[in-house]
Homo-oligomer: A and B are copies of this chain.
Amino acid sequence: MEVQIAVAKVNKYATSESGDTLEVVERPNGGLSVVLADGQTSGRGAKAISLAVVRKVIGLLAEGVRDGAAARAASDALFTDRQGKVISTLNIASVDLSSRTIVLTRNNPAPIFICRGEEIDCLDQESIPLGTSLNIRPVITEIGIEPGLVIVIYTDGVIHAGKRRGLPMDVAATLRSILEDQDPGPQTLADILLAQAVSLDENRPADDISVLVLKVTSRVGDNVRRMSVRLPIEGFGK
């Protein structure tokens, strides 16, 4: 089997810093974790918050702290630092090779979609962001790693997309239409969802938008781990 992870990420229109921070780290007992935080507001202040949350979580995961405990610690630290005045959403998606599961940790009102074939489940239990009070509880979902599994996670930029025109995005419907027709790779899926959100915002995103897609395939390959990053650079030569 192979776990494939893809991310597509765009800044709020006319801002150079994204309030969304995403990082991938290796887990000390095998596997990896993707950590995605969205700091309140946008621009430089939001970036500092989401970076601090992601660093805190990554540092704890690296020490072998469990995902839920890392999320709680990051929340308490943010609350203590900012007295509840600043909040941040957090999603952790871990491929845990010791438990052989995918562990999803969510402190984010935005739902997570779990797809198996054409069956699409929406994880939308109430979930509040980090930093609102002490002892915030993350919503944790653990799923066996099996071929065909597709998991879709996003920040609230997707939820806000199109809202100023009264045309919010129906993520479930979009997912259904894509998954019915094709067996898309995770990057294609992330790109399509992001492109739709940006298009609903008339190509001027009202917020930072990040889409994370995790897919398990039955591919039997060469045991090579691969990673690629593409970073567009604006305004060069001006």
Alpha-carbon separation in the docked complex, A62 to B51 (Å): 8
From known contacts A16-B30, A17-B30, infer whether A228 and B4 are also in contact, taking CB-CB under 8 Å.
Answer: yes
A-B contact pairs, 19 of them (CB 8 A): A1-B233, A2-B230, A2-B231, A2-B233, A3-B229, A5-B230, A6-B228, A7-B226, A22-B227, A23-B24, A23-B25, A23-B26, A28-B51, A31-B231, A223-B232, A225-B230, A225-B232, A227-B229, A227-B230
Q: Assess the B227–A24 pair: CB atoms within 8 A.
A: yes
Q: Assess the A187–B226 pair: CB atoms within 8 A.
A: yes
Q: Is there a chain B Cβ closer than 8 Å to A222's Cβ?
A: yes
**A2, chain B: closest CB distance, angstroms:** 5
Query: Chain B residue with minimal CB distance to A212?
Result: B227
Copies per complex of this chain: 2
From known contacts A9-B225, A24-B24, A229-B32, infer whether A236 and B51 are also in contact, taking CB-CB under 8 Å.
Answer: no
Q: Assess the B231–A10 pair: CB atoms within 8 A.
A: no
Q: Is there a chain B Cβ closer than 8 Å to A191's Cβ?
A: yes
Q: Is there a chain B Cβ closer than 8 Å to A11's Cβ?
A: yes
Q: Is there a chain B Cβ closer than 8 Å to A153's Cβ?
A: no
Q: Assess the B1–A236 pair: CB atoms within 8 A.
A: yes
Q: Assess the A226–B224 pair: CB atoms within 8 A.
A: no
Q: Assess the B8–A236 pair: CB atoms within 8 A.
A: no
Residues of A within 8 A of B (CB): 1-11, 16-17, 21-26, 28, 30-32, 34, 47-48, 51, 55, 58-59, 62, 95, 97, 100, 145, 186-187, 190-191, 194, 219, 221-234, 236
**A183, chain B: closest CB distance, angstroms:** 16
**A152, chain B: closest CB distance, angstroms:** 15
**A73, chain B: closest CB distance, angstroms:** 16
Q: Assess the B233–A224 pair: CB atoms within 8 A.
A: no
From known contacts A6-B227, A225-B8, A227-B7, infer whether A233 and B26 are also in contact, taking CB-CB under 8 Å.
Answer: no
From known contacts A23-B26, A221-B232, infer whether A226 and B95 are also in contact, taking CB-CB under 8 Å.
Answer: no
Residues of B within 8 A of A6 (CB): 226-229
Query: Chain B residue with minimal CB distance to A47?
Result: B28
Among candidates B3, B10, B48, B62, residue contacting A224 with C-beta atoms closer than 8 Å: B10
Alpha-carbon separation in the docked complex, A233 to B8 (Å): 24
